[in-house]
Amino acid sequence: MKILAIETSCDETAASVISFLQDKIDIQSNIVSSQIKIHAEWGGVVPNLAAREHLKNIIPVINESLDQSKTTLEEINLIAVTYGPGLIPALLIGTSASKTLSYFSNKPLIGINHVEAHVYANYFSENKKLLNDFEFPILALIVSGGHTQLILIKDHLKYKIIGETQDDAIGEAFDKIAKILKLGYPGGPIISKLADETKNKEVDLIKNTEIKKLFENLKFPRPMIGSGDFNFSYSGLKTSVMYFFKKLTTLSPSEKDLEVSKKLIAKYFQEAAVEILIKKSQKAIEEYDAKTFLLAGGVAANSYLRNQISENIKIPFHFPPLELCGDNAAMIAISAYYQYQNLSKKEKANLTSNWKTLEADSNLRL
Ligand code: KG4
Ligand code: ZN
């Protein structure tokens, strides 16, 4: 079957055409039009600006994905669209476009949960085969700009959220810290790169002795690391980095000292943020006797997190391909494929009238 998938939940307008034949999977197109440059000016995603850009790009992006896959709309068997969670003005563009396509082409339409799709990005392998041999129960760690969740998956499409952030998501914390340090947007890749190229001994490069002393006893907090549950909190860590940086700037650092300080802050922040994820994941694996560990979401591209998982997670684990960690429509298509397999004949038939009832839901839960 051929699926056309559409994603507009945040700041990427994306469309993809994927053909599924038993365990063979062929990504025929995967178009992502990013709005990073527009939102960078504001240091974060501005929902109405995002909607305006989606509106401008949605038809060209869908056309490009059909053209590149050499597919006509008539040849598509199923249209899939993200209907939540996400920014409502942004979601409305993708859902409206796909409802219109479905209505005029009389093709079935299926609504997909964005978080679930991030998890299903793990089912893509490098060699065009569907990876469907992960043993259940699966523990999935979702780390993105909007979510930090631990999800227990007992079987395909059977989820239980066992813990989540009580305030900021981890990706949001990376972005806010990059903003505090005036490093640019989005902060995740920038902080991660700086942190990875920094060694502890770089503190010796700092000339100002008072600043050097600040770093000597520095250990950023690991909020809720021993809370006994599987919830997270990242706002305290962010505030603590902010106060540390404020204190440091009152000591009038030279340009060079400031540069080294930012690198060290990035490194110590990343270590704190990731240690919490690892500890909670280990505890959840034990408590729920999970057989497979999956990582998902934009922050899954983080190399330090991947290394820490490789070193500390003692059950089989898997990461999505790097290019499918951030928002994309290929993950919407693969999620739709599994949803579709699970429907009864009648439910499948009803999908052609889904355009009447499908609604965007910014707080959609698994
Ligand atoms: O999944 P995603 O593309 O969008 C949401 O659904 O939120 O995640 C975006 C988030 C941003 O906060 C971005 O800074 C973060 O993922 N991110 C990273 C890295 N690459 C992207 N965070 C840490 N390290 C990275 N390498
Ligand atoms: Zn996402």
Same domain, 94 and 193: no
Q: What is the pLDDT along the chain (366 residues), one digit of tens a residue?
A: 999 999 999 999 999 999 999 889 999 999 999 999 999 988 889 999 999 999 999 999 999 999 999 999 999 999 999 999 999 999 999 999 999 999 999 999 999 999 999 999 999 987 777 887 899 999 999 999 999 999 999 999 999 999 999 999 999 999 999 999 999 999 999 999 999 999 989 999 999 999 999 999 899 999 999 999 999 999 999 999 999 999 999 999 999 999 999 999 999 999 999 999 999 999 999 999 999 999 999 999 999 999 999 999 999 999 999 999 999 999 999 999 999 999 999 999 999 999 999 999 999 999
276 falls within a domain: yes
What is the reported pLDDT for 297? 98
Please tell me the total count of domains within the chain: 2
Whether residue 326 has its Cβ less than 6 Å from ligand 1: yes
Same domain, 178 and 127: no
Residues 247 and 352 in one domain: no
Nearest ligand atom owner, CA of 144: 1
Ligand 1 site-directed mutation target among 39, 174, 191, most atoms within 8 Å of CB: 174
Residues 261 and 350 in one domain: no
Give the pLDDT confidence score for residue 139 in this predicted structure: 98
HEC secondary structure over 269-317: HHHHHHHHHHHHHHHHHHHHCCCEEEEECHHHHCHHHHHHHHHHCCCCE
Residue 13 and residue 108 in one domain: yes
| Angle, in degrees to the nearest 10, between helices 209-216 and 235-250 | 160
For residue 348, give the CATH number of its domain: 3.30.420.40
pLDDT at 231: 98
223 lines ligand 1 (CB under 6 A): no
Closest-lying ligand 1 atom to the alpha carbon of residue 11 = 4
Domain identity same for 77 and 215? no
Q: Which domain holds residue 119?
A: 2-134+323-356
Those residues with Cβ within 8 angstroms of residue 112's Cβ, 6 or more apart along the chain or in another chain? 5, 80, 81, 82, 83, 332, 335, 336, 339
Q: Whose CA is nearest to atom 22 of ligand 1?
A: 188
Say if residue 261 is in the same domain as residue 150. yes
Do 122 and 207 belong to one domain? no
By most ligand atoms within 8 Å of CB, the mutation choice from 10, 143, 144 for ligand 1 is 144
- Ligand 1, residues 170, 238, 270, 299: which to mutate, most atoms within 8 A of Cβ? 299
Number of the ligand closest to the Cα of 299: 1
Identify whether 223 is part of a domain. Answer: yes
Residues 298 and 192 in one domain: yes
Q: Look at residue 43 in the predicted model and tell me its pLDDT.
A: 85
Q: Write out the DSSP string of 12-58.
A: EEEEEEEEEETTEEEEEEEEEEE-HHHHHTTTS--HHHHHHHHHHHH
